Every structure is written in C-alpha cells, then in structure tokens.
C-alpha cells in the first residue's frame, strides 16, 4: 500500500509538467519568434529578446521561465536564422532547451510575403528528487530518505532532440502564423529506480494580428493566439494601443474553451531609446487557482538594431510592408 501511495505522488508530481502546454507568455505579440520559427528574419534587422515570467506568484513550486532569442535576415538567400534558449522550472522539474531556426521567405506581392521555417535543437529534462516528499519518508536532518526505492534521492536526467515547423504570412496590415511545437511529457519507466523517459506531445499554434491606424500618432493592434494539443485548447485575445511608436499599453483575456477563464492581463511598455524596448505584464487570476496565488508577472526586454543587415545588399524579392 505504501508503494501504491508513493507511486501516486510521483505520478502526480510529473503530471504538473505533462499537463503543461508550451511556455506561457502574456507578451506574445511582442515576441512572435518565441512561438514560430518561420518568423526568423521577418523584422528585417537583428532583433534580440529576453523574457522572464513568474507564474502564479506565491504558489509553492509555481512555474518560472527564462527565455532568450535572437534572429536576423540573410538577404542573399531570402532567408532568416535564429536561436532560442529557454529554461523552465516547475517545482521539482527543470526543462532546458536550445533551438536553432531557419526560415525561407518568398514575396507574394509588393506588400506581402510568406515564410517557411524549421527548427532543430536539444532538450534536457531534470527531476530533482530532493524536492519530492513521500508520506513515509524521513526528511529530518541529517537523514533524507523517501523510504521507497521508486523515488530518486538526487537528480535524474533525460534528454531528447527537438524539431519544430511553422509558416508565417506577413502583409501590410496582417500577420498570420501557424506552427507545430513539441512539448515533452515525462514517463515513469517500468523498471523503477527513478528512471525516466520523455515523450513528445505535438502542440499546434495559430497567431493572428491586425494593425489599424487610428490617427497620425496612434495605432491599435488586436491579436489572437490559439494553442492546442488537439485535446485541450487555450485561446488568448489581446489588444495593444501604441502612441507615436514610443509608448504602448494593452489588455488580454485568456481561457480554455468558452467557459474556463484563466486570467485577464494588463501590460504596458515604452522605448528606453531608439533600439531598446521594455515591457511588463501582470496576469490577474480568474480561475479557481486564484485563492492560492497572487497573479503572474512577466518582464520583456527587446533590442532591435533598427537598420537593415548588410546595407547595399537589400533582398530582390522580400519587401517589408511596414515601409510602404
């Protein structure tokens, strides 16, 4: 019976990761490359973005995510390349990944292009057994034991290659992206002894955004991000109001299906200088979990070189609709 309850605790702890979708970012509209490799190079300059998210603040073992990416165009071959590095910490679970991306871009009209992207990389998963607790365990110093051979005492590692694909359509006013990303769920091996395996679970994402000019100095950008593993679907609808390209503010609503609201989001940002943008988002919890947490915080820093790479070698086929 003791082994049975211990097994339930162990499986329950890894379900926290298995049930996760791709990493959550409330400022997704400011960082499209985070979710789609086909966006690499579409800003027509070198762009580097860093993001930190503390989800469900105040909840023990809540997710914390660090994300860094950089991407740039290669005009000579109508392409773009990028690198994305992420670190996810959820309780006893730590997932680290590094992914390289390549995109090929082709003009459809003078104000629209389509980009096809592929990514490949490596993921490292670590389960820290010292953060697990079993009902029959002994955790008084200096002794530490789960009193169960199934649960690991130290850290257990597993790794796997990562492959992603995406398509991104960009026009003068519209951005539409579709991508397929894997999320790796842990699996308990039958031979026990804390041995883990990981299995990819495909997730599909749809991103749609439209830019509306409301005046000489003000614009509105509504957007939507849909994430699904074909069993459960999360939808986030956002709107950003931007003033003179220097200051912006917005709000989002996120939920699962039509009835399960997850959070309302308020965010704002401004340019520190002509190349650097700082943004902050706060998630107001709306789900039943709101009684145990104080919302989520997200900070984003974006650097853009703001000029074409390799001046004098502009692409013969790619046109940036933002300049029309």
pLDDT reported for residue 146: 79
- Which pLDDT tens digit goes with each residue over 282-314? 999 998 777 778 889 999 999 999 888 765 444
Percentage of the residues of the chain whose pLDDT score is greater than 70? 83
Q: How many CB atoms lie within 10 A of CB 98?
A: 15
**In this predicted structure, which of 1-15, 185-199, 229-243 has the lowest mean pLDDT?**
1-15
What is the number of domains present in the chain? Answer: 1
Residue among 254, 198, 244 nearest 24 (CA): 254
User: pLDDT class for 324, splitting at 50, 70, 90?
Assistant: very low
Choice between 102 and 136, residue whose per-residue pLDDT is larger: 102
pLDDT reported for residue 6: 41
- Which pLDDT tens digit goes with each residue over 122-147? 999 888 888 887 777 888 777 788 77
Is the pLDDT at 190 greater than 90? The verdict is: no
Q: How many CB atoms lie within 10 A of CB 38?
A: 30
CATH number, residue 210: 2.40.160.40
pLDDT reported for residue 10: 44
Average of per-residue pLDDT values in the chain: 84
Is the pLDDT at 117 greater than 90? The verdict is: yes
pLDDT reported for residue 310: 63
Residue among 15, 25, 13 nearest 54 (CA): 25
pLDDT reported for residue 323: 41
Choice between 182 and 319, residue whose per-residue pLDDT is larger: 182
In whole angstroms, what is the distance from residue 22 CA to residue 37 CA? 14
- Which pLDDT tens digit goes with each residue over 132-188? 877 778 887 777 887 777 777 888 888 889 999 999 999 999 999 999 998 766 654
pLDDT reported for residue 186: 60
- Domain range holding 45? 2-323
pLDDT reported for residue 18: 39
- Which pLDDT tens digit goes with each residue over 195-218? 566 777 889 999 999 999 998 899
């Amino acid at each position: 019976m003791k082994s049975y309850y211990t097994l339930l605790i162990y499986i329950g702890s890894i379900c926290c990761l298995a049930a996760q979708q791709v990493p959550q970012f409330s400022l997704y509209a400011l960082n499209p490359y985070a979710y789609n490799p086909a966006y690499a190079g579409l800003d027509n300059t070198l762009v580097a973005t860093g993001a930190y998210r503390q989800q469900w603040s105040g909840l023990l073992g809540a997710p914390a995510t660090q994300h860094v990416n950089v991407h740039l165009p290669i005009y000579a071959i109508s392409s773009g390349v990028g690198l994305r590095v992420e670190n996810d910490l959820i309780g006893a679970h730590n997932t680290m990944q590094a992914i390289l991306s390549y995109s090929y871009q082709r003009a459809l009209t003078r104000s629209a292009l389509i980009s096809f992207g592929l990514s490949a990389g490596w993921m490292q998963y670590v389960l820290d057994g010292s953060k697990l607790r079993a009902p029959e365990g002994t955790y008084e110093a200096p002794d530490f034991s789960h009193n169960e051979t199934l649960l690991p005492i130290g850290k257990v590692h597993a790794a796997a290659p990562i492959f992603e694909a995406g398509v991104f359509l960009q026009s003068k006013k519209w951005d539409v992206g579709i991508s397929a990303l894997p999320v790796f769920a842990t699996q308990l091996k039958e031979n026990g002894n804390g041995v883990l395996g990981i299995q990819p679970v495909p997730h599909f994402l749809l991103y749609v955004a439209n830019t509306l000019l409301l005046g000489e100095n003000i614009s509105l950008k509504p957007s939507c991000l849909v994430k699904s593993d074909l069993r459960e679907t999360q939808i986030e609808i956002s709107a950003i109001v931007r003033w003179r390209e220097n200051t912006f503010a917005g709000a989002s609503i996120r939920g699962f299906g039509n009835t399960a609201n997850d959070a309302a989001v308020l965010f704002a940002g401004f340019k520190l200088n002509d190349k650097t943008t700082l943004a902050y988002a706060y998630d107001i919890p709306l789900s039943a979990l709101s009684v145990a947490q104080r919302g989520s915080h997200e900070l984003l820093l974006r650097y853009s070189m703001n000029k074409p790479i390799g001046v004098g070698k502009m692409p013969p086929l790619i046109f940036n609709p933002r300049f029309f």
